[in-house]
Amino acid sequence: MRDVPLLIIGAGPAGLSAAYRAAEAGCDVLLLERAKKIGGQLVKQTHKFFGSEKQFASTRGIHIVDILAGRTKDLPGKVEILTDATVLGIYEDGVVTADIAGTIEKIRPQAVIVATGAYERTLAFPGNDLPGVYGAGAVQTLMNEYGIKPGDQVLMVGAGNIGLIVSYQLMQAGVKVKAVIDAADRIGGYLVHASKIRRAGVPILVRHTVEAALGDSEVEQAVIVEIDDEWQPIKETRQVLDVDVICVAVGLSPLADLLYQAGAKSFYISPLGGHVPLRDQNMMTTLENIYIAGDVAGIEEASSAMVEGELAGVAAAQKLGYETPDTDQLKESCLAELRQLRAGPTGGKIRTGLALAGVYS
């Protein structure tokens, strides 16, 4: 049994930022990451990030990881980071079990911050299980982590930020993107991304869906079709594209299994991506001393994930008695930053979602 003051689960932007702030206040931290590398989604993001300079705007995601990890060193509290360490459960007595490099270990933390990120949603269409129908995350992993082209000709399903960015990354890797389609009647992602891939000659078709993936043992073709106001296919508009990959980028949902399991109260809040655990202003869930931060608390951006992480880190440390004269001010400035990031029209969805969740009311 390991005894630690603060356990953080997940070393994405949220978890790393939480570790930094908690250790800065003097609290020792154990940070567990399931993957072999830290960074979460960031390790696959070769593009420059949006946001403001405080959240490293204009720095490529892959480089933000190093900055975040660097900040966790030489602080009053010690941050121990273990990779290949999957947390398996959080139990009522506060004990946490984890598979650390193949060995199951028990941990008894005084507080936990869950920063496990999200999982990818998928779509149901005939042939969706054929090899060659891949999640956007898989395409990114293959391409940007292992340096392998997922295929030669890709249909991208989803024109949100992920679909647009992954299309761009595919082209950077030398793969042809045949089209980007989206069932909604407008492009969901940032229009600057959309313009960028249009310049490369890739059509974006709104109000289109994928009807089927065709092929004997692998994807050889995709059938796409325009849909009407009732979301019914308009048969005459059916097109068959020769592609070997259909990349599904239809959104993310919070990966909050550990919290449901532990009994945290959660609600299905569609604008936040699915079931999200409720939390207070300090990011604490309905379970005493269990906090959340980042995409697990509602699908948003790395920028807000970092700020939420910082807020949870400061708050959890404070609750455990690690405080500095700046603590309250720091919390205030995190809240102000979050408000700023969510202020614009693109933050509307998040604001609605959070209002439904009772935050900010």
Partner 1 sequence: MNRIEHHPILTFPEKRTLTFYFDGKALSGKEGDTIASALHAAGVRVLGHHFKSHRPRGFYCAIGNCSSCLMVVNGVPNVRVCVEQLEEGMDVRSQNDKGVLP
Partner 2 sequence: MSYDKFEQTGLAGPHEMSTCLPSEEQRKKGPYAVIECFEEIPCNPCVMSCTFDAILPFEDVNSLPLVDFDKCTGCAVCAGICPGLAIFIVDESKPGDFGTLRLPYEYWPLPEKGQTVMALSREGGDVEPVEVVAISNVKGARTPLVTLRLPKDKLQDIRGFRFLSEEEQAALKDDTEAEKTADIESLESPIVCRCEGVTLAEIRDLIAAGCHTVEEIKHLSRAGMGPCQGRTCRQIIMGELMRAGIGKTEDMPPGSFRPPGGTVTLGQLAEGGDSDA
Ligand X SMILES: Cc1cc2nc3c(=O)[nH]c(=O)nc-3n(C[C@H](O)[C@H](O)[C@H](O)COP(=O)(O)OP(=O)(O)OC[C@H]3O[C@@H](n4cnc5c(N)ncnc54)[C@H](O)[C@@H]3O)c2cc1C
Which residue type, as a one-letter code, is found at position 315? A
Nearer to ligand X, 305 or 334 (CB): 305
d(Cα 56, Cα 30) in Å, to the nearest integer? Answer: 25
138 binds, among ligand X, partner 1, partner 2, none (CB under 5 to 8 A by kind): partner 1
Contact with ligand X (CB under 6 A) among 87, 202, 213, 245: 87
162 binds ligand X (CB under 6 A): yes
Q: Where do we find the tokens 């360490």?
A: 85
Neighbours of 230 (CB within 10 A): 5
For residue 283, the partner it binds in partner 1, partner 2, ligand X, none, with Cβ less than 5 to 8 A by kind, is none
Q: Kindly identify the residues of this chain, within the stretch 126-165, that bind partner 2 according to CB under 8 A.
A: none
Would you state the torsion angle of the CA atoms of residues 310, 53, 350, 184, taken in this order, to the nearest 10 degrees? Answer: -140
Rule CB under 6 A: say whether 301 interacts with ligand X: yes
Residues that bind partner 1 (CB under 8 A): 34-36, 46, 60, 62, 119-120, 122, 129-135, 137-138, 141-144, 146-150, 172-174, 217-218
Count the alpha carbons within 13 Å of 21 in the hemisphere toward its beta carbon.
Answer: 28
The Cα–Cα gap between 327 and 333 comes to 10
**Residues shown for the chain:** 361
For residues 207 to 226, the per-residue mask of contacts with partner 2, x marking binding by CB under 8 A and - elsewhere, is x------------------x
Q: Which does 359 bind (CB under 5 to 8 A by kind): ligand X, partner 1, partner 2, none?
A: none
Residues 242 to 281 in contact with partner 2, rule: CB under 8 A? none
Residue 113 identity (one-letter amino acid)? I
Distance from C-alpha of 15 to C-alpha of 297, rounded to nearest angstrom:
12
Q: What is the DSSP letter of 49?
A: P
The residues of the shown chain that bind ligand X, judged by CB under 6 A, are 9-15, 32-35, 40-42, 45, 49-51, 86-87, 115-118, 161-162, 165-166, 255, 294-296, 300-303, 305
